[in-house]
Structure 1
């Protein structure tokens, strides 16, 4: 059994048989600052671009990899040698983790070393700073917006007591090879990803469909579009880790079919804004639903976040696209 006096963040670069308990979050021992934690399985396509575009805004990135058969580990080790072991901490979570949507995920208890939930909670517990956020391996940072939000959180210090939620437009190559945003799945992040002060009330729980973030009593506030979501630009559209051949009835198998089929996409910011404009029903729901209010605020912020130009121009103006294409 793990010595509960030893913080998870001080354990070695390889972990197996871990089971999460809330006191592992080591709330009283955390340092002022901001951590990002990553869970990585075969993320080589955009892993380097993600880390390079984000690392200057955080006190550390904790990159936890699992079941990688591509170049992800090689990329992480190279970047760690460049940025240092304190800035980019790389950990191998060795237990087999069942992907969301799989029978294994549905049937596996959330505290099992094989559970996606336990894997997420380990990654969070491995962070060392008082504020944390989840970072996916296909997020290209919108630098100025990310800097403004992280600077504001640092200024608040111990007074920071909300979950500052952020989002990112989903990018897709249309049939002509142009960058676009799919109109039926335009935005990633609807209140489930953000910066939060770590406490024993902030952790992940089991849902039959996926992991679910438990934020305790933290109110949510939308603070901006902080990334471009590159998932659908991956060779497998980002669905290669879901083991769909073994789980053909997974909800993600249906989503992949949607991505692969012909579907409408927009090439300009203005049409994206029009496509997500909330309906009368959504505006009515927002009266009583905090989640709908947050998503309405998110969608209303598109034109104030991006100039009314093409999606390609918006990406190049707001993010370091050369990191993706180099």
Structure 2
């Protein structure tokens, strides 16, 4: 098949590309990393060439707000569009910039998928649930920031076109795994804690981390969910492990795997007023996705890559 992946040099997009390239013709669309910063000082784009060193398909460097990008996709004539590109920083509060990038372009992708008769699988987000009690389920949302709101509005927009195209939104929970390192400060705490430990530093956790729960979801399960979406009924589905674990669990598992016993350093949580203290995906039984990796299994599978990054990137 011919597949377009927007945001294909980023975390999830690059792993989709690498996993699908053997049997498919793939075109990656990515703005790529530059010096552009959001108002919070974080990078606007995380696309990094090192995520694509093993990629054998085509790369088009372009903005999803640019007509040239849509012409490139139209000329490619894909059977499938995996739409991962977005401003994905939950601490970006420039509402115009976030919504202009994430929401305003989305209807163009929907209309293009209808024109090309291409399946459209797009990244939604568990952030849409805000402070809703666990387990979070579709239909009970309360977005708390512009990013979450943009994804919530994308889900609403997609619903209007279910009768015209194959459109599936995937609400990712806390994804970790290969390809995330170049997200810098927004990379998962799995890789951040691991590199603290490998450097011999005390792992730094927020106070009460044994009571802060997240649904940590391994990247290989996310790839499986995207593949399941190709044959799913139009709709929005949670993509998580279905089991909440704590940040303390991450540190304890890493120390066990790395053979260390460093004391933890606990610091005040500066985000306490705008923080999710418990997330857990309610999985839809009608969706064929079934997570295969527990937190222990995911970290164990990820460990060689974590060590490689520490040697080649952190200490380069």
TM beyond 0.5 = no
Higher strand share: 1
Q: Looking at both structures, which has the greater relative contact order when contacts are Cα pairs under 8 Å and sequence separation is at least 6? A: 1
TM-score normalized by the length of structure 1: 0.34
